Amino acid sequence: MKRRTFLAAATAAVAARGLASKGVAAGPQPNRLALSITWGMFRSMPAPEALSHLARLEYDAFEMFNWRDPALLNTIAAEMKKYNLECATLVANKGVKAPGCGLTNPIEREAFLEQIGLAIEAAGKVDCKRLVVLTGDEVPGLTRAAMMDSCVAGLKAAAPMLEKNGISADVEVLNTYVNHAGYFLYYVRDGAEMIDRVGSPNVKILFDIYHVQIMEGNLIQNIRTHMKRIGHFHIGDVPGRHQPGTGEIHYRNVFKAIHDLGFQGTAALEYSPTIPLLDDMAAERKLTTF
C-alpha cells in the first residue's frame, strides 16, 4: 500500500472510531444499506433515548414521527444535532386514509397541496428531504382511470413546490388483501404509471416490501424493473408483519439485490418485532451489511 493511501485509510479509521466512541454513527458505508426506522416502533421511548440508540447501533436515519406535535418536532430537531443521523421521511397527508386531503378525489386537491406545504415547512426544521404521500382510498362513483388522473394532477401540482425546496414525495403502494381494503394504489405497475405521467424527478415510489409481497411477490424482479422510480423502501416480513426472518421473504437476497443495484436511498424498519426492539435493530444492521 502506498504511504499516501495508508495515511488516508488510517485517518478515516481513527475518525470512525472517534465517532463511535461518542455514540455517533459514521454515516452510510459502501458495504451496507442506509438503514432507518419508523418512529412508531419506539412506542413510548423518549426521543433523546431513541436517537441515542440509533446512533449507537449505527443506523443512518429515523422517520415518520408526528411532526404535527410541536413539542416532539422541536425536541427531535434539537436532539438530532448531537448525532450523525438524518430524518429520512415525514408523512405529508395525514396517514393512509388521507382524510380530506387525498389524491384520488379532485375535490380534495387544495387540501392536499396545503398539507404538502405544511410538511415541507416541518421538513425544513429537521433537514428532511423526503415526504411519504398516500393516495387515499378509492372514491365511490369514480372510475380507476379518473382517480389515476386525479392523482397525477395532484402530484404535478405539488411538483414545483417539491423541486423548489429540494424535497421528494414518495407515493406508497399498500396491500388491500390484509391491511388496507379500499386503498387506491396497490400495484407497483400502477405506481410506475403514476410516476411516469407526473414526470418529475422529485416524485417517486415508496416500495414497501411487506405490502408488495402480499399483492404481487416477485420482489427482486419488481425492484430491478422499477429501481429508477423508487425513492425509499419499507421493511417487514409476511405473514404477520414482523422482522425479517420470521416469514416467507428471503430478506438477505432482497437486501443484496437492492445494494447491488446501487440504491442511494434509505430502507426503513416498519413492523412489530417478536423480540426486544434493540436486539432486533442490531440484527437488522448486520443483515443489511455485506
* Residues that are catalytic: 172, 270
Q: How far is CA 247 from CA 11, 213, 243, 250, in A?
A: 42, 11, 8, 8
Q: How far apart are CA 240 and CA 173, in angstroms?
A: 18
Task: Name the 3-class secondary structure at 267.
Answer: strand
What is the three-class DSSP state of 161? helix
Contact of 39 with 63, CB cutoff 8 Å: yes
Q: Is the Cβ–Cβ distance between 26 and 251 less than 8 Å?
A: no
Q: Report the sign of the C-alpha dihedral through residues 272, 274, 276, 281, in that order.
A: negative
* Residue 185 phi, psi (nearest 5): -95, 95
Instruction: Please give the Cα distance from 134 to 119 (Å, whole number).
Output: 13
3-state secondary structure of 74: helix
Q: Which has the closest alpha carbon to 237: 260, 212, 203, 204?
A: 212
Nearest Cα residue to 174 out of 164, 188, 158: 188
Instruction: Name the residue type at position 115.
Output: Q
* Sequence-distant (≥ 6) Cβ neighbours of residue 106 within 8 angstroms: 150, 153, 154
Report DSSP letters for 28-66, one per residue. Answer: --TTB-EEEEBGGGGTT--HHHHHHHHHHTT--EEE---
Decide: helix, strand or coil at residue 191: helix
In this structure, are residues 132 and 91 in contact, taking their beta carbons and an 8 Å threshold? yes
